[in-house]
Structure 1
């Protein structure tokens, strides 16, 4: 699962680029930077694209351990 910090602040350029589709598909009603968005992205963690998960990891919002768990669940 994604950490609760995911999308809790302003997204990085990579998060904006690689997570835009995931955001629109799963959490479009939650505002950028809101705790509701962080919760929504966490709930849909296993459905997020690999590029989005990588962008979240690079931003320090997903640990490598969390990424491995997401990849394992997605298989």
Structure 2
């Protein structure tokens, strides 16, 4: 009887762990729209890094002033960057 309860408790714990891990969104995942709109920008500027990696995100932010309008619009629509940040960066680039 004790073994049955121990196995049952272990099974429930394993199911809970799997469910918790499955619920965690991939931090690097980008939408298909962003992937399509930014493919050429990635290839031109950040292809030294693995796609959808933290390094690629950092690179794309660093070269933000060179990104295509379509890529920027897709990033804004996906919530990757705010319209305010785009405006600030555009104003900053214009002053240079």
Counterpart of 2:80 in structure 1 is 61
* Between structures 1 and 2, the one with greater helix share: 2
| Structure 1 unmatched runs, 5+ | 1-7
Q: TM-score, normalised by structure 1?
A: 0.78
Question: CA offsets per residue over residues 6-55 of structure 1, 9 Å max, x none?
Answer: xx522211111110000000000111221110110011000000110111
Aligned mates of 1:74, 1:23 — CA distance in 2: 23
Aligned mates of 2:38, 2:94 — CA distance in 1: 17
Larger radius of gyration: 2
Q: TM-score, normalised by structure 2?
A: 0.63
Q: 1:46–1:74: 8 Å Cα contact kept in structure 2?
A: no
Aligned mates of 1:62, 1:74 — CA distance in 2: 19
The runs of at least 4 consecutive aligned structure 1 residues that moved more than 3 Å come to none
Q: How many residues align?
A: 68
